[in-house]
Structure formats: C-alpha cells, structure tokens
Structure 1
C-alpha cells in the first residue's frame, strides 16, 4: 500500500475512471518541459510527468533538448483527435473514501459549491479541485500509436539511459501520451499515514490563497494521520479585485491579446501537430475561467494544467531464468538484448501505475513477446463489466473479467475491443438513429447511420443539427414544453436551441446570453421560454414569433433556477443566495428575498399561486408570499444541501430531499415537520415524489434503491433495486408515473412506479458518455436526454396501461 502523497493520490483518484491523476499538474519549468502534449514521450516521477521529447514534433523543434538517434516523427494521418471542453465539472472531486461533511456559502455555478469540509473515512483518500471545467484532447484510434511505440521503444530506452542523457529508466517506465484533461488552476490533497481515517480538511473556496490559508487540517493524535494539500499555479491568484480573500491582484496579468501577439512572434512549426497546438491554444485562451469561486469574468488563464493523463505503456516479456547464470551474467552465445528485471531486493521507488497489471495479464494469457496497454484499456474493461469504481485488486478483476487479447504477427499483444462500438464518441451531424424493436440486429438498408440499441423499447431520435457538441460545447440545461412536443436546450456556448420534436427540426436559436445558459423553463401555455445564465440575466423568449420579449439584468451571479407560476403571471429566479420575484407581463420586480445563507438550489410555486418556496445549500427551505415576497415560514431541520422540493397533490404538504440522507415531509401552511425518511448512514437522497392521492412517497438515494413509503406513517412499502442503472440525472415525470435515471454503463432506464416494473432500457451510442440531463414529455410518451457528447436525443416510450392511477410528482 503506497505511503507517499503522490502514489496515494494517483491510486485513489484513478478509481474514478478519468485517467491517471497527476499530483503535480503544473507544466515543468526546466528546458524541454512545459505543459503536457499529445505525442510526449517521458516518464512519471514524484507525481508529475517529465518529457524526454515529443514524437509528433520535428526534430529541430525548440520543444526538444535532444531527440533519439534516427528519430522519425510520428504522423497522425487520418487518426482523429477528439476534443471536449467540459469532461469534468469545476469544483471538487472526491475519492470513494472521502466524504463531504458540510457545504459553505461560497459562490458556485450549476449548484457546485467550493467552500466545504470533508473527512477521510478509510486509511487513504484523495481529492482534487478544478478551477475551470476539465478540457480533454484524446487520440481515439490507437493501433498505429501502439505499433510506433513498439518499433521505437528500444531506441528510446538506450538513448534515455545513455551517458549523454543520463536517465535511469526501464522500458516499462516510458510513457507515450495519447491524451490529457487540463484545467487552469487546481488544488490536490492526499490522506494517508498509519490511518487516514478521521482526518478532516476544510477548504475555504479561494484558490488564490497559499495552502496554509486556503486549507485547514484536523487530525486525531492517536491516529497519526497525514493530510498533504497542494495549490497551483503559484502565479495565478484570483483576478477579481473585489474578492474578500486571497492575495492582491497581480500587477499586470497577461491579457488575451498579449498572449496571442507573443504566439504570433514565435516561429511557426510544420505539420499537423503544430496546427493542433495552435488550435488548442486558441480554444484555451478564447474564454474566461468559469470561476466557481466568485466573479471571475475577467480571468483569462489558459487550461494548461494537466490533471489527468492518458498514455501507452509497453513491456517486453521477461526472459526465462535460464538465460542468465546465477551471477546474472548472460551466456556468450546469447545475442538477445539486455532487459532489466525487477528483483525483490531492488530499492527503487516505482510510481503507482495500474497499467502494468494489464501488461502482466497479457503475458500470462498469451504468447505475446511484447505487451502494450493504455490506462483507457482498464477503464474500458471496467465499464464493459459495469464495475465502478475501478477495484483495488486489479489483477484479480482482470482474471475474473477475462478480457480478450489480440496478438499480431510480429508478437505485439493488446487487449481486444470493438473500436466502433466503444470509441465512436460523436455521431455525424444530422444523423438520425432509429430502432424498430428488440430484434433489429441489422442495419436498415439505405440508413447508413442506423445504430442498434439493445434491450430497448421504442425509438431514439438524435435531434439535428445544433445538438452537436462541436456547436453547443455541451448541454447545461434541458426542458420539455408542458404542451406539445417542443424541447429546449441551453448550451455552454451561450446558445439556446428549441426543437419541434414532431418533425425533428430546429425552430428557434437564441444567442443573447453572454455566459453559459444555466436554467430553462417553459410558460404553462408553452408560448414563452424563460432562461437564466451565468451572466446574471433572465430573458423571456417569444416562442410564437421568435426573439426576446425582454431581458432582465436580474442578478450579480449565475442564475441557478427559474420557475413559472401555474397561472403564468409570475417568474421567480434564484442566484447566489437571493430569489427575485418578477411580473411576467411587465418584467417589474415584485420582491426580493435575502434570508438564505447559501446558493439557491431550487424554486417552486404553490399550485394555487399564493406562495413559493426556495431551498439553499445552507440547509434552509423557506416559504414566501407571492404578493410581496414576504417571509411566511421556514422548514427547519435539514443539515445538508436541499436540492429539490415539491408540493403534495392536496397542496397541504411539501417534500424536500437533501444530501444529509433524509427526505422530509412538512406542513405547507406552517412549516411543521410531519415525517422523516432516512436513506441510510452517510447517504444522500437524489429524488422524491408524492403519489397522486398523496398516500405514498417515492424516494431514490445514494443506495440506488427506489423506495416507496407510506407518506403519513413513514412505513417502507416497497423497494426496487436500481443498482448500476441509477447513477446520474434521476428524474420523475410530471405526473410521477415514471422514474428515469442514467446508468454507470451509459444507459437510460425507465420504471413505471404504478406497476413497479422496468419499462424501457436504452444504451447510448457512445460508451464513454454519461447522461447529464433527463426530461419527460407531459404525456409520458417521450423522454429527452442530454449527454457528455453534447447530443440531445429524444426517446419514445412504450404505451402505458390506462388502468393504473397516475401520480403527482416533481420533475427533477
């Protein structure tokens, strides 16, 4: 078990299946280093990546100190490099052994709060904090890269260990970089020691501070626990001069124009690699930091800090012991190349690297002379087996999983995967996916983009053409019209797209926001759409003639929630800790609430339009009058973030769910607590819904079990084990009849809560894309999904029995 910070950090966060975590994400300052690039050849040391040279650059490129003899540049050719701008949300990432204890009131976007306290619950743990969403570049098709590495590894190894270069590395130490995930600023921490259990860390939400000021660490003396944090880069404090914390604003931070001018003065490189780097530099510098820790609209730090690494590693089959004498001297007639073999007495500190387990597995189950593997190979095996997180005992997992091995004619062994199924992350623009039924195993004639979706019921339609990730940059909000079949999506490139699902056409495209679109809601009659954005604006859109009706400079921070009253006369918007009430017809401000102490998580109007309720990350839920926005009562008791709230059908009760592990039922009139349903120790509740008659309550939590309770006695009536099918974006239909969620294996599953049966199960075309938004049509005939690939898809549900009674619930 590792007992140093960088190995603990790598081992714990690698389980999240995001790549190899780097304890030292910052570019190295030594000559020939700089930020990590695709094509780098180098090694891991002390938690950082160190470059020897870049195989995709010309030999004379200034990035190199030197290159191996007879260096031949690797040509990508037609191999695609897949880019994505939001593969990891900004904010904290916790290992499975670190739990969040409480959330502070720091600013955030999309509900991500960055002031928090956490505790290590096991012997080791780790966390990472990203200042801006993780950006990824990845070479998908890999056979040519693997072959190139095999052909050149001996030369690289001899050169690196020569007296001229002076490294001491084994062949299996050498990495060939195929991708990365980067951010602009970061913090990392590792828990370890005799036991890391009960070590607590508090982060105040400001990455501009030094470690000693940004973190507070508490350990119990008897445990001898250790917690080591890092923050970087040191020269990137917050640029907001009005922030309450952190060092002073730097004298003259480099502006975007200055950075571009400096790049234009450099000698232009040749080939695809240089074009790729110039394009990536433009992408990283083009937009400001998303800044979850405050108002950072002026920040322009590039995303050059490598948080996760994707790479190849190669190993040669160890020679038989008979090839050497007991003294380790090779027989004179043996002309084979010297290969270093690790021995039990080797005192060298090898960095943690799980890819070596795949290489050993290949040798144990094939006749391959050389094995090559990537960190993504292990992630694929785990995802194909629905294993998450990646297990501790990887060798045993590989034995149990028995992934196939392919050995080429020249003795190169690799794991075998279906590249079309696993690696096709993006479908062609305007592609329509249509599946006739569960026996549609063949592609329909004349339908080149038809894809078989196993275990499904119904049809999937990929909405064209602006649902494409290259145009939208990712979906940040999704909504179904309460009437008809219109779907609206808010995108990270500040665009709103409205589709008419009946004929799969784009009806409107709106582009007035100057920040990510973070919230959407249709008016009750479907004639208007209200959007909230990171720019603090609330915009009312006309869905009859198109265009904006009015734009309200509503808030200082990101608008997290917008809501329409049932009569269509009022709009509520929540940002930071403030909820504002607007008259929909005139845009006049009717009232403002300022009693919350944390980020607004949810806003809902009462069915009779007399009250509205807001919840916050500080654990508070408050009821207000719609006439003056005056305070009516509080729902007191939650000790964690309250994510959502809903009224019972008779309007007399409210249900809340929070990450303190409880679902609570309250009096909607005076705020008294009627019932408390606990998910389990350290659990959290993801979604909750009343039945139509109000007698039952459905709850889904971190245990991934769909539970039905008596809403008056809190007696548990029924359970459905969702398992790996209930992971992301849990959602109830508007009437509560249906429940849907995204799964670990990138599927969507729908249950009928009246029959307690699974009625639909679909597989996304790309097996690396998580479902991040789900929304039902109000007639329960369709469901819309948005996923990491930036696509919006509409799925047709099977016909439901008309004899079952519907329920009333909250669409989450």
Structure 2
C-alpha cells in the first residue's frame, strides 16, 4: 500500500499543524525574487568563476551552481547520495570544489568541468564544515565533523596530515571553520573552530604539527583562557570583518545573538546584535550587519547605531546562510524552504522594501503566487535533518 511522505499523514501537535499551515500560506510570496530549488539548502558560498553565481549545498546530495542573473540552476556537482552540508573552493589554482556530506566523506570536483575527483574519507560521523588554505606551500583541506574531530588533508595526495581534537574533551560537533587572515602566515595557518558547545577554539596548524592556542583572559591581566567563551550555546557561523583595520571576528549563535569579538581585546565581545531565536548566519559591510535565522527573517542592522533598520521577510523556513555579492551591495539568503533570495543593501532599495511593507499593512498587497518547493526527502529523513539542525547536534 502506498504511504505518502506528507506531514499530513503523520501525527502532528496543534503547534506543528499551525506552523505548517502558516508556512504553506507564506510560501506563495515573491519577496527577494526567489529562485526555487527542489530540496533543502544547507550552505552557500560565492562562485569564484562568476560574480552573479553561488555554489549551494543541497539536502538532495549535490552542490548546485545558481546563476542569479540568468536564473540557471542546471549545473550540478553530483556524487553523494546523502545531504551535502557544506561547500568550499580551493586546491591548486582554486579550481576544486569540496563538499562535506552525511555519508562522512568530503567529495571534490573540478570547478570548470564538474568532473568528480578525489574523495577524502576519515570522519566517523557527518562532515559539517570544510575550508581550504595553503600551509607551507602545500594546498590543504580542513574538515570538521559531528564526530567532534577536525582533520587536515593534503589536497593533492589525499593524505591526512593531522587530526585536531580538544584535549579537554568538551568540544562537541563542529559547526563551522574559518581561517584567520591576520594571524596566519606562510608556514602556519590559524584556524578558528565553532561547535555545538558555546566555545570558540583557535589552532595553529603547520605541516609538521599543530597546537591549540591559549587566549588572554579579559578579566585577569596576564592570565589565559583555554577557549573563547562569549556565547551561551551553539555557534553556527563566523566571519572576519575586513571593514575594520583589526579584522575582528563576527559570530552567530543559537543564543539569539550575533557578536563582534574584538581582536585587540582578546576576542571578547565588543558589540552584540539581539536578532532573537537561533541566528544561523551573519555577514557585515561598512554600513550594515545582516543576520538570518530560525525566525525565517533576514534582518539588516545599522552598524553605527546598532539599531534594526529593515526586516527582509520572504522565507518560510529557517534562513541557513547569507552571502554578500557586488562588494556588499546585495545579500543573498538561502533557506531550508528551498529558495534562494536576493536583497538590495543600498538605502534606496531598503527604504523601498520598508515602504512596500507599510503599504501591505494598509491592505495594498499585490502578490503573484509561486509554487512552493517540494522536498525530495522522506519523512524520516526530514525528521533526521531537523534533529541535526538542533543545538545539541
């Protein structure tokens, strides 16, 4: 007998049913000029070969190139049979796409031809973060997994160079990895790792070894702390702020905040944005701090005053990632709702959106429905993915 995978065929609480009904109604909007894909979107990065394209990690088990100008979505990097959670570009000449998957592997492809290349196997649980860097003249891939481990790989040979793990045993599933552009040098990369616990950790990685760095204590002059602890729970995303000379670190967390961690103050919180609910992503420009998260909204904050300037409404499920384009003139949001949406970041464009929302509130709404994205996952896989996205993963 046929068994549908619609949520309507399974037991739901009143709250779950209300949420599903609300999202179904909200899915007809066209805010942000949505490009609709057929699976949940779990990460995105700029496409280095095109200023108008993204590389998007999909729950359908692929990395997809999305051209925002032509709206072409047909170029796909295929291989995994399970959801792809993260994506990066690097390797010799920056011509290799890397993607971590639920199958515990990191897959790679030639960026130009989309031909499948090497697979990096070693994690014992989902791979949740990947980043590329050069260490001592060697192109390296760094991956982090739900197995609480960070692995450093020689891209060319596929040889695993190091396995990083907090000796205190408090480190939980890795959520994100970034390379510090200021502290890193030709012979050593400084990696910052975020995980499902609220601690940030910094690592110095060389070809012949690695060490976990100690941090100056903000409370006790001359003392050190083992980790950077400025949030209350999971840290999902990090981004270095190139708009200031010190290149401070911005973080987004499940505690509902995005914070600026001051390099000059030992990476202690200098500014805090109260987004509300889980903050999945943060990006910054010279004018704005932009956050997105579980409340389905993208919020634009005035950097000078710290005040909320504009709410970009349109997604009908969690906003998972944000990407800046055109030198910070536009921001692109990707969501579990399967849509990619593009928003202006100039004041004229934002003010127009604010005015449109005011008109809608007065009953002047004009919308053309679009067909909601249809997931390709079973109900069991949907539940597993939802559990993965929770704090305690």
2:12 and 2:280 map into 1 onto residues whose CA distance is: 35
Could you list the per-position Cα deviations for residues 758-787 of structure 1 after superposition, in whole angstroms to 9, with x for gaps in the alignment?
9xxxx99961259xxxxxxxxxxxxxxxx9
Superposition pairs for residues 50-69 of structure 1, below 5 Å? none
Q: 1:546 aligns with which of 144, 157, 168?
A: 157
| 1:564 alignment partner in structure 2 | 179
1:478 aligns with 2:72: no
Offset, 1:578: 7.8
Superposition pairs for residues 27-426 of structure 1, below 5 Å? 39=1, 139=2, 178-179=3-4, 310=9, 385-386=25-26
Contact 1:690/1:696 (CA < 8 Å) preserved in 2? yes
In structure 2, the gaps of 5 or more residues are: 29-35, 41-65, 353-369, 383-393
| 1:589 alignment partner in structure 2 | 210
2:132 and 2:254 map into 1 onto residues whose CA distance is: 28
| 2:121 alignment partner in structure 1 | 511
Offset, 1:646: 3.8
2:103 is paired with a residue whose SS is coil
Change (3 A) 1:669 1:639: same
Could you list the per-position Cα deviations for residues 257-282 of structure 1 after superposition, in whole angstroms to 9, with x for gaps in the alignment?
xxxxxxxxxxxxxxxxxxxxxxxxxx
Q: 1:689 aligns with which of 239, 263, 283?
A: 283
1:463 aligns with 2:102: no
Contact 1:486/1:498 (CA < 8 Å) preserved in 2? yes
| 2:323 alignment partner in structure 1 | 732
Change (3 A) 1:622 1:534: farther
Higher-Rg member (1/2): 1
| 1:157 alignment partner in structure 2 | none
1:672 and 1:705 map into 2 onto residues whose CA distance is: 25
Could you list the per-position Cα deviations for residues 98-136 of structure 1 after superposition, in whole angstroms to 9, with x for gaps in the alignment?
xxxxxxxxxxxxxxxxxxxxxxxxxxxxxxxxxxxxxxx
Change (3 A) 1:456 1:534: same
Offset, 1:550: 1.6
Q: 2:374 aligns with which of 767, 772, 776?
A: 767
Offset, 1:713: 2.8
Superposition pairs for residues 650-689 of structure 1, below 5 Å? 650-651=245-246, 653-665=248-260, 667-670=262-265, 674-679=270-275, 683-689=277-283
Offset, 1:527: 2.4
Superposition pairs for residues 570-719 of structure 1, below 5 Å? 570-572=189-191, 573=193, 579=201, 581-586=203-208, 588-591=209-212, 630-631=224-225, 641-648=234-241, 649=243, 650-651=245-246, 653-665=248-260, 667-670=262-265, 674-679=270-275, 683-691=277-285, 694-700=286-292, 702=295, 704-709=297-302, 711-716=303-308, 718-719=309-310
Contact 1:386/1:744 (CA < 8 Å) preserved in 2? no
1:527 aligns with 2:139: yes
Contact 1:689/1:736 (CA < 8 Å) preserved in 2? no
Contact 1:536/1:559 (CA < 8 Å) preserved in 2? yes
1:622 and 1:519 map into 2 onto residues whose CA distance is: 29
Offset, 1:180: 6.6
1:507 and 1:521 map into 2 onto residues whose CA distance is: 17
1:180 and 1:589 map into 2 onto residues whose CA distance is: 47
Change (3 A) 1:504 1:515: same
Change (3 A) 1:523 1:678: same
Contact 1:652/1:669 (CA < 8 Å) preserved in 2? no
2:26 is paired with a residue whose SS is coil
Offset, 1:496: 1.4
Offset, 1:651: 1.4
Contact 1:635/1:666 (CA < 8 Å) preserved in 2? no
Task: Report the structure, 1 or 2, having the larger strand content.
Answer: 2
2:246 and 2:212 map into 1 onto residues whose CA distance is: 23
Could you list the per-position Cα deviations for residues 407-436 of structure 1 after superposition, in whole angstroms to 9, with x for gaps in the alignment?
xxxxxxxxxxxxxx99x889xxxxxxxxxx
2:12 and 2:149 map into 1 onto residues whose CA distance is: 47
Offset, 1:662: 3.9
Change (3 A) 1:696 1:559: closer
Offset, 1:460: 1.4
1:464 and 1:672 map into 2 onto residues whose CA distance is: 40
| 1:415 alignment partner in structure 2 | none
1:669 is paired with a residue whose SS is helix
Q: 2:313 aligns with which of 722, 725, 729?
A: 722
1:499 is paired with a residue whose SS is strand
1:744 and 1:515 map into 2 onto residues whose CA distance is: 22
1:748 is paired with a residue whose SS is strand
Offset, 1:466: 0.5
Change (3 A) 1:574 1:456: closer
1:478 is paired with a residue whose SS is strand
Could you list the per-position Cα deviations for residues 737-759 of structure 1 after superposition, in whole angstroms to 9, with x for gaps in the alignment?
5422235752111234347479x
